[in-house]
Structure 1
Amino acid sequence: MRPTLTHIALHVADLDACIAFYERFCGMAVIHQRAGKGSRIVWMSEPGKEHSFILVMMPGGVDRNLPATDYSHFGFAVDSRVAVDAIAAEAARWGCLIWPPRDEPYPVGYYCGLRDPNGNYVEFSYGQPLGPGAEQMPIP
C-alpha cells in the first residue's frame, strides 16, 4: 500500500485571520468546523479538492517569525504570470508580500511569496511542472 498525502494540520495564533487569508488569496473555503479539545478546528480546501487535500487549522500556535531568506512555504499554482502579478499587488496593499514576483529557470518558474497571519510563507507560481498545464511539462 502506498500512502497518500491528504492534509496538513497547523496550530495558528489567530484562526479567523488565517481563515480570511486563505479565502482571499488562495481561493480556499471552510468545508468543516467543529469544537475540539477546548478549541475550534477548521478544515479548508480548494473547491473540488475536498476529498483529496485539506488544510486543518486550530488555535494555539505562535507566530513563526521566519526570516525573508527562509524558503519554507506552501505552494499554489496559478494559470498565468498575470495572476502572479495580481496576487502580489493585492498582497502589497495588505502588507503581506515578502517575495515580489521573480522569474527563475525551469522548473521554478515565475512566482511571488506572501506571509500568512501566522508567519507561514505561501508561494504563488506559474510555469512549474505542477498545477495548471503541468501535464504537458516534463519534471526534470
Structure 2
Amino acid sequence: MSPTLTHLALHVPDLDACVAFYSEFCGMRVIHQRPGKGSQIVWMAEPGKEHAFILVIMPGGQDRQLAEDDYSHFGFAVASREQVDALAARAKAAGCLIWPPRDEPYPVGYYCGLRDPAGNYVEFSYGQPLGPGSEAMPIP
C-alpha cells in the first residue's frame, strides 16, 4: 500500500485566530482538541472528511512573511465562480485578501488568495481538475 496524506501540522502564533479563520473562511470545524507539550493542540476538518484529511494547529509558531508573489499556499476548491467572488469580498472586508479573483487558463481556473492569521496563504479556486466538478475534467 502506498502512503496516504492524512494531515498537515502547523505551529501558529495565535491559535484562536487561526481556528476562527479556518472555521469562517474554509468551513472547517474543530474535531478534537487536547493539551499537548505545554499548549493546546487542535484538529480541524471539513465536515464529512474527518477520516480523510485534517489540519493540526498548535500555538508557538512565528508569523510567516510571504511575498505577495510567493504562491506557496493551501488550496480549497469551491463550487462556483460566485463563491470565489464572495470569499474574496469577505476577505477584503476582513483585511486578509492578497490575490483578488483572477482567471487563468486550465488547469488553474478562477481563484483568489487570502492570508491566514499565521501568514500562510490560502487559495479558493473553481475550475481546477480537483474538487467540485472535477470528475468531468481530465488531468493533463
Is TM-score (shorter-chain normalized) higher than 0.5? yes
Q: TM-score scaled by structure 2?
A: 1.00
Within 2, Cα distance between the matches of 1:52 and 1:69? Answer: 31
RMSD: 0.3
Q: Which residue is 1:22 aligned to?
A: 22
Q: Which residue is 2:94 aligned to?
A: 94
Q: Secondary structure at the match of 1:30?
A: strand
Q: Tell me if 1:122 matches 2:122.
A: yes
Q: 1:51-90 residue pairs with structure 2 within 5 A?
A: 51-90=51-90
Return structure 1 stretches of 4+ with deviation > 4 angstroms: none
Q: Which residue is 1:38 aligned to?
A: 38
Q: TM-score scaled by structure 1?
A: 1.00
Gaps of 5+ in 1: none
Gaps of 5+ in 2: none
The percentage of aligned residue pairs carrying the same residue is: 80
The residue type paired with residue 129 of structure 1 is P
The residue type paired with residue 111 of structure 1 is Y
- Displacement of 1:25 after TM fit? 0.2
The residue type paired with residue 16 of structure 1 is D
Q: Secondary structure at the match of 1:26?
A: coil
